[in-house]
Structure 1
Amino acid sequence: MVIEQVLDTRPTPIRVPTSFLIQLASLALTCNYFQFQTQFFQQIKGTAMGATMAPSLACLYVAAFEEHHIYKSEWWPLIFKWWRYIDDVLLIWIGTDAQFFGFLDWLNQCNPNLQFNHYIHHSQVDFLDITVMYQNQKFTTSLFRKSTDRNTLLAFDSFHPHHLKTNIPTGQFLRLRRLCSSTTEYITQAQNMIVRFQERGYPYKILKRAYKRALYVRDFLFLKSTHQQDPTVNCILPFSTSSKTISALIRKHWAALALDKFFRSLRFMYRRGRNLRDILVHTVGHPADMTYEGGHRPCGRCSVCQHTNTLTQFAHPHSGCLYKLSGTSDCNTRGVVYVITCPCQLLYVGKTQRSIKTCIIEHRSSINISKENAPLVSHWIEKSHTTADLQFFVLEVVLPPARGGDYSLILLRHEQRWIFRLNTIIPHGLNSEIEWNHFL
């Protein structure tokens, strides 16, 4: 296995045994599956597209192929240059056309898992995003764009951080300058790029600044960067309408954190927040026979039914906000977030993976024996409530993830969100705190 061969070349001492890493790699490569409707399918050949280790594996596999076949073959003297990016190869052939096609036939017979297509030209060839030209015994390069490429540049009026949108042209013009070997070619291609940016609403002032910045820096773009340890603390926030307010609040109180030597300087970075697609589109659908109209009712067959509120929606006793119950439930429903109400109009939010009636029986037992292990029981004892005063209903039915996962953590997060949303922390409710660490 090519991964094992590479790992065996590591210098000693080796912290992590090769056998352990091979076992992890085997799991990542052979346990790929996907779900279509209600059926699961496992991939039995190749590597899943989009897998994190797929590019690395492809590089190692093709590199091993080169070592075993290309470099030691009789064709190697006819290859003047050989460049490869993952599994795409650019080569300069100094033999005849007939010899090249013979080499290609031999190449496709070496390994059935690797089959090479080709494009051959005597003066110009396109490779990835670059066009390589040979004219007057000299190589020149320029930008290559497929005829089918669309203008997918980020629209300037999109909801993204302003500094990100103003820096996109800079990055694109620097990339263009690196790909164009001559200043004349850069100027020509830059005019086309300016048009594409203007079609997406970018101001000409930003484009002109980015164009000029890249015009005379081509030699510097090929210098190796020197990475130094950055003491800056990166504060990563989801980008939203509140991002500026949050960052301003953190900066206002940064002096208190800066007393610790770890917090030298601060830099805010943003990740994409949830958009309409995240909210509306789900890769796993709900079962067709599941009812989601919502509502809680007693099962009619247990002692907990006397404590059950029959509801399809409820109004918050303090704010008056109306909430629609999610999922159809009764005393036997499992995996729920529930609400317990008391005569004082205070709410307690809880969650359980077991049936809700089992959880309510435990609450009732704790009240009967005065087991003060939670604010709920302490309040019941302090106010001289009885177990008959205990009323509950299921607020939300949380389905287990179809693809597996930490169901307990998912339930806990749903519970914490409802505690925050309904404001049930003491003294406004009967919950002790919100456990924010479960969202990290």
Structure 2
Amino acid sequence: MGTCMAPTYANIFMGAIEAGSLCAFPDKPLIWLRYIDDIFLIWTHGRAKLESFIAHANTFHPTIKFTSSISDTQIPFLDVMVSLKNNTLHTDLYSKPTDTFNYLHWSSCHPFHTKSSIPYSLAFRLIRICSCEETLTRRLTELTEHLKRRGFSLKHIQKAILKAKETPRSTAIQRRRLPETQKNRIPFVITYNPALPNISSILKKYFPILHTSPRCRRAIPHLPMAAFRRPKNLRDSLVHANIQKTHICGSRPCNIRRCLTCKLITTTSQFTSTVTGKTYNILHNL
């Protein structure tokens, strides 16, 4: 979404539109859930009034227009497919048709804990999303195949799935709140390299030395968190997105040893037309 502040601005802006459109329309949705600019709602006043409500929302701001998908049976919202069966809402994983499931490959140059946590995180996500046990089993089987294709061992995948299943869904869907000590940890940022020692262990070992100083204890009250930045890869070395710009205008030799044109180039910032006799400035670097 562009800059890091874009979601915050979008939330504030959409919150104003949300409040205005809901308050000004006489009929209200039964459920209204919004994530930035994606909205899920349940409407119980008939399709005609729903279309009137959408048209009303589209008049609230000249540049904001809502697109809608309406269904009586099922509809996707973010990565969740919500379906209505026997007057009960059921949820399942929703993936776009273009999704290739190219998760991080096991052989990728990333910290071990980053790669090893992927199967558990994805399995835990499915436990939170899938409301039916049969659907969950099918999605976990699909996940296993996707991860095997990305180089993960079957043993590691199965171990992660069993660990994720230890948490009941009723607990998994609850919002987790980090302790204050976790929120206020200062990141210790270092460029990742596979040859690095265990940075977290080193921080834990020598952190008490910092606390021998009252000044350091006030500045760094909690154990710093090891954070890795991505090292330069082959693409960074071969591809340059920024074109080097020069502010020197005129014509001059490039001085490349094999260049056969340099001896014919005149160093100058102007040229005179042989037809009109007028002198022109060279506005670019030639």
Alignment TM-score, normalising by the size of structure 1: 0.50
Aligned twin of 1:175: 125
Q: Which structure dedicates a bigger proportion of its chain to strand?
A: 1
| 1:274 maps onto 2:232 in alignment | yes
1:312-346 Cα deviation digits (max 9, x unpaired): xxxxxxxxxxxxxxxxxxxxxxxxxxxxxxxxxxx
Q: Could you say if the C-alpha distance between residues 205 and 61 of structure 1 is closer, same or farther in structure 2, counting changes exceeding 3 Å?
A: same
The Cα offsets for residues 183-237 of structure 1, whole Å up to 9 and x where unpaired, read as: 2221111111111001101011111111112224222223342423148764321
Gaps of 5+ in 1: 1-48, 295-440
Equivalent residues in 2 for 1:39-188, closer than 5 Å: 49-76=1-28, 79-188=29-138
**Gap change, CA 1:131 and 1:106, over 3 Å in 2:** same
Q: CA deviation at 1:247?
A: 3.9
166 and 111 in structure 1: CA distance in 2 versus 1, 3 angstrom threshold: same
Query: How many residue pairs were aligned?
Result: 243
Cα distance, 1:251 vs structure 2: 6.3
Letter in 2 for 1:97: R
Residues 55-101 of structure 1: CA deviation (Å, up to 9, x unaligned): 1111111111122222231232xx11111110111010112222222
Alpha-carbon distance in 2 for matches of 1:120, 1:286: 50
Partner of 1:198: 148
Contact 2:25–2:53 (8 Å) recurs in 1: no
1:243 partner SS: coil
- Asked whether the 8 Å contact 1:183–1:215 carries over to 2, the reply is no
**Distance in 1 (alpha carbons) for counterparts of 2:53 and 2:200:** 64
CA-atom RMSD, angstroms?
A: 2.9
TM-superposed CA distance for 1:293, in Å, is 5.5
What pairs up with 1:150-299 in 2 under 5 angstroms?
A: 150-217=100-167, 218-223=169-174, 224-230=176-182, 234-244=187-197, 247=199, 250=202, 254=206, 257-258=209-210, 260=212, 262=217, 265=223, 268-287=226-245, 291=254
Separation in structure 2 between the aligned mates of residue 67 and residue 248 of structure 1, nearest angstrom: 46
Distance 2:207 2:89 in 1: 56
Q: Secondary structure at the match of 2:180?
A: coil
Q: Secondary structure at the match of 1:208?
A: helix
Q: 1:256 to 1:90 in 2, by over 3 A?
A: closer
Structure 1 residues 240, 132: closer, same or farther in 2, change over 3 A?
Answer: same
Show structure 2 runs of 5+ residues with no match. Answer: 258-286
Find the residue that maps to 1:75 and give its secondary structure.
coil
Paired with 2:189 and 2:31, the residues of 1 have a C-alpha distance of: 44
Aligned to 1:71, what secondary structure does the other structure show? helix
Q: Is the 8 A contact 2:21 2:56 kept in 1?
A: no
Instruction: Note the C-alpha offset of 1:151.
Output: 2.0
Question: Cα offset for 1:116?
Answer: 0.7
Change (3 A) 1:91 1:251: closer
Q: Which structure is larger by alpha-carbon Rg, 1 or 2?
A: 1
Work out whether residues 237 and 243 of structure 1, in 8 Å CA contact, stay in contact via their aligned partners in 2: no
Alpha-carbon distance in 2 for matches of 1:249, 1:164: 16
Superposed displacement of residue 260, structure 1: 2.4
Normalised by the length of structure 2, the TM-score is 0.75
Moved more, 141-150 or 273-282: 273-282
Cα distance, 1:172 vs. partner? 1.0
Question: CA contact under 8 A between 2:109 and 2:194: conserved in structure 1?
Answer: no
What is the percentage of aligned positions where both structures have the same residue? 26
- Residue by residue, what CA displacement relative to the aligned partner does 1:245-292 show, whole Å, maximum 9, x if unpaired? x84995698378356263775653322111122233233212488958
Q: 1:174 to 1:286 in 2, by over 3 A?
A: same
* 2:59 match: secondary structure: helix
